[in-house]
A and B are shown apart, each in its own frame.
Chain A
Amino acid sequence: MSAVTQSEVSGRISLEGVTKKFGEAEAIKNISLTLHKGEFVALLGASGCGKSTTLRLLAGLETATSGRVMLNGRDVTKEGPAARNIALMFQSYALYPHLTVAQNISMPLRLGRMSALQRLPGAGLLSNSVRGMQDAIAKRVLEVATTLRLEKLLQRKPSQLSGGQQQRVALARALVRDPSAFLLDEPLSNLDTQLRGDTRDELRALHRRTQYPFLLVTHDQSDALSMADRIAVMIDGQIAQLGTPKNIFETPANIAVATFIGNHRMNMVPPGEAELLHTAGGQCHVGVRPEDVRISPNGKLEAVVESIAFHGEETILRMKTQNNTTLRTMLRGTQSLPSQGQTVGLAVEQSAMHFFDRQGQRQKVPQ
């Protein structure tokens, strides 16, 4: 059979050609994705692109219509979430409101280690082995709670905690059982800006310490770019591009990815008009990030300034060319701003241009 050794196989989870249909609609189209041990992968996409479904397929909350889900070399396609031992942190944290923090955190361990009979209230009074288990679980809960600074809150109910504390409880509940992979569904979207930055660092540190395969699902590209080792950009139920953040930012594989990634949407000049920027533009779309567009009297591409938006450190101009293509440029400083209605020439360094063929695929153009 295959020559993969056990060590290569362990701590690896993958989707192999997975398709998921809801009725007739295909939510996920033939996706393949592997998470390795020690890796932090972000699944990035707009809402409704199928990224949450991908996460649920990995966790075992949905069953694939076709294709396989592999965990450490074992086919788990038909197995439920319990058998996969995958930790999942939900967007709403999904804490049990009627249980204390300690009970919330210990739930996966109690369910995993103890039988229904052993979980009955009072079982610890009757049996030494049950008491031993309870002590071991309490010890582990305290350990995890301490690393997440929750040890003082163990007897509280979730409704008595702040948003950040609730999130740490959700993290603790996920981490308490040594999971085979750790999936995070939009972990930062419920936090305010201040807490977001801290939580990013905390998640990165957590990942480095634990070395579980992490999968972060997010619609926020700055989360993905700043935290992940690899990013899978999902568009319309398919992975449009898979690569390092740098790789995806610098060489987007197609127009869809190019216009999705980046703080400001990439300008896309259609074939024909793009010839004014580069000779290859006759047959190609030319993409330019707003920060790379310069206003220059020598620029051949001319556009009328439509609006000027001041953003503090930068100013964003929205312009329209003769062919009605909207372009944006980002200017630093406030000196020598053109006025509204003025026609300006635009120039772009060739190294800042991205070329895409008429089908939208990335094109190599000789420099």
Chain B
Amino acid sequence: MKLSNIIVVGALAIGAAMVLLPFFWMISISLKPQGEIFTADLRILPQHPTLMNYWKAIVETDIPLYLLNGVIVTGSILVLQLVVTIPCAYALAHRDFMGRKLFFGAIVAALLVPFHVTAIPIFIGFAQLKILNTYTALILPFVSTAFGLFLLRQAYAQIPDEIIDAARVDGMSEMGIAWRIGFPLCMPTVIAFAIFSVTAHWNDLFWPLIATTDPDLATPPRGILFFRDQESGDDVGPLMAGAALITAPLIIGFLMAQKRFTQGLASTGLKG
């Protein structure tokens, strides 16, 4: 092995270790019995590993409810985002209408505006509509997404015009083309977008913190806060188990989608 390779691999390993250490620490603590957590000496691995903390997190706390809320909110956001974004992306890429360039320019401009800028106006608007503290309040602000529009418009623009025309000649409606031709052909991009969207909204703490105060509506990160506030001042074990449970769906989901994700990126799927 060449020296340069050793240096590169070594640097990558140190980087990976730094990124993984907190996760590892979290898992380690979540497996330790309570007595082992606050000891004077530092032990990486639990001496008497136990699943007691997980049991506690699942049975004695509201973490299952938070997970369910997370699924409802991120799932609804993703589905509604696609319902809005797919036809828009198709229209922006393949139809001629007045102001098309202007709309696309506006979308690119909107990419530059962080959500935090619009959060307060949306909060005030929702307060006027009296829909704060509902699922709607958690879902609605994210249904239209400049990022998703941009990403999918670029993917739809890759579809050759002749395939779109062929579908028109075959008698397909414009909506049909957007969903039955465009959607499957853009699947790699849709999956990439879905990963971004689900990760962002599953982990989002900022907006749930503003829009909801009801613990029954808490999404996982928000829920963790409730959990910590209420009971876990010194009950770190179940807290870490809860945190592990909350990050698990994302990691499992990514591992499962990773193959399709990278496969999709490798071959455009539009040849032939």
Contact = CB atoms under 8 A, between A and B. Distances in A.
Nearest to B187: A98
A90 B165 contact: yes
A157 B162 CA distance: 18
30 contacts: A56-B165, A59-B169, A61-B165, A61-B169, A80-B168, A82-B171, A82-B172, A86-B169, A88-B166, A88-B169, A90-B162, A90-B165, A94-B160, A94-B162, A94-B163, A96-B166, A96-B181, A97-B269, A97-B270, A98-B185, A98-B269, A107-B167, A108-B169, A108-B171, A111-B170, A111-B176, A112-B171, A161-B272, A166-B272, A173-B166
A155 interface: no
Interface string A105-116: 001100110001
Nearest to A92: B162
Interface in B39-86: none
A319 B146 CA distance: 65
Interface in B132-186: 160, 162-163, 165-172, 176, 181, 184-185
Q: Interface residues of B: mostly helix, strand, loop or mixed? A: helix
B149 to A, nearest CB: 23
Nearest to A183: B169
A98 B269 CA distance: 8
- Sorting the interface of chain B by its residue count into under 10, 10 to 19, 20 to 34 or 35 or more gives 10 to 19
B271 interface: yes
Contacts of B168: 61, 80-82
A91 B270 CA distance: 16
Interface of A: 56, 59-61, 80-82, 86-88, 90-92, 94-98, 107-108, 111-112, 116, 157-159, 161, 166, 173
Q: Which 10 A-B pairs have the closest CB atoms?
A: A82-B171, A159-B272, A94-B166, A94-B162, A111-B171, A158-B272, A98-B184, A108-B170, A90-B162, A81-B169
A353 to B, nearest CB: 44
A56 B181 CA distance: 21
Nearest to B163: A94
A92 B165 contact: no
B171 A96 contact: no
A94 B165 contact: yes
A87 B169 contact: yes
A349 B162 CA distance: 49
B166 A90 contact: yes
Contacts of A94: 160, 162-163, 165-166
A157 B170 contact: no
Contacts of B163: 94-97
A114 to B, nearest CB: 11
B160 to A, nearest CB: 7
B230 to A, nearest CB: 48
A157 B166 contact: no
Given A97-B185, A157-B272, 8 more contacts: A60-B169, A61-B169, A81-B171, A88-B166, A90-B162, A92-B162, A96-B166, A98-B185
Interface centre among B166, B184, B269, B271 (most CB of A within 10 A): B166
A21 to B, nearest CB: 14
Contacts of A96: 163, 166-167, 181
Interface centre among B163, B171, B172, B176 (most CB of A within 10 A): B171
Interface centre among B168, B169, B176, B271 (most CB of A within 10 A): B169
B166 to A, nearest CB: 4
Contacts of B270: 97
A367 B131 CA distance: 95
